[in-house]
Amino acid sequence: MVLFDWVIIGGGVHGCTVASYLIKSGKTTADKLRVIDPHHEPMFRWKRNTSLIGMEFLRSPSVHHLDMDPLSLHKYAKKMQEDRAFYGEYDRPSLDLFNNHCNDLLQQLNIFDSWHTGKVTKVEKNKGVWNVYTDASEIILGKNLVITISINDQLNIPEWAVAAKGQTSIPMYHIFEEGLPNLKELKTPVIVVGGGITAAHLTINLSSIYPGDVILLKRHPFRVYPFDSDPGWLGPKNLSSFHKINDYEKRRNLIQQARHKGSIPRELNNSLKRLQRRQQIHIVDGEVVSVGEDTDTFTVQLENKSKLKGGALLLATGFNPSRPGKGWLKELIHKHQLKCAKCGYPIVNESLEWCEHLYVSGALAELEIGPVSRNISGARKAAERIISSIG
| Mean pLDDT across the chain | 96
pLDDT at site 295 = 76
The string of pLDDT tens digits covering residues 113-124 is 999 999 999 999
Determine what percent of the chain is predicted with pLDDT higher than 70. 100
C-alpha separations of 98 from 35, 50, 148, 363 in Å: 21, 11, 20, 22
Region of residue 325 (phi > 0: left; psi between -120 and 50: alpha; otherwise: beta): left
> Exposed/middle/buried for 47, CB within 10 Å: 0-12, 13-18, 19+?
middle
Banded model confidence at residue 167, pLDDT cuts 50, 70, 90: confident
Query: What is the average per-residue pLDDT within 47-61?
Result: 97
pLDDT band at 166 (very low <50, low <70, confident <90, very high): confident
Residue 384: its pLDDT value, please? 98
Task: Please report the pLDDT score of residue 266 as a whole number.
Answer: 96
Mean local confidence (pLDDT), 35-49: 97
Q: What percent of the chain has pLDDT over 90?
A: 94
325 closest CA partner among 8, 6, 7, 10: 10
The span from the CA of 154 to the CA of 363, in Å, is 12
| pLDDT score of 342 more than 90 | yes
pLDDT of residue 53: 97
Identify the pLDDT of residue 388: 95
Q: What is the pLDDT of residue 321?
A: 93
User: What integer pLDDT is reported at residue 165 of this predicted model?
Assistant: 83
71 pLDDT band, cuts 50/70/90, is: very high
Output the pLDDT for position 195.
96
Nearest to 175 by CA among 54, 32, 39, 28: 54
Dihedrals phi, psi of 151, to nearest 5 degrees: -90, 10
With cut-offs at 50, 70 and 90, classify the pLDDT of residue 84. confident
**Average pLDDT of the residues in 308-327:** 94
Q: What pLDDT digit, counting tens, does each position of 269-291 carry?
A: 999 999 999 999 999 999 999 99
pTM for this predicted structure? 0.95
CA distance 384 to 365: 13
Task: Report residue 226's pLDDT band, with 50, 70 and 90 as the boundaries.
Answer: very high
**How large is the average pLDDT for residues 233-250?**
96
pLDDT at 217 over 80: yes
pLDDT in tens, 93-152: 999 999 999 999 999 999 999 999 999 999 999 999 999 999 999 999 999 999 999 999
391 band by pLDDT with thresholds 50, 70 and 90: confident
Cα R_g (the chain), whole angstroms: 22
Q: What are the beta bridge partners of residue 264? A: 224
pLDDT above 80 (res 83): no
- Mean of the pLDDT values across residues 338-348? 97
Q: Rounded distance, CA 45 to CA 253, Å?
A: 29
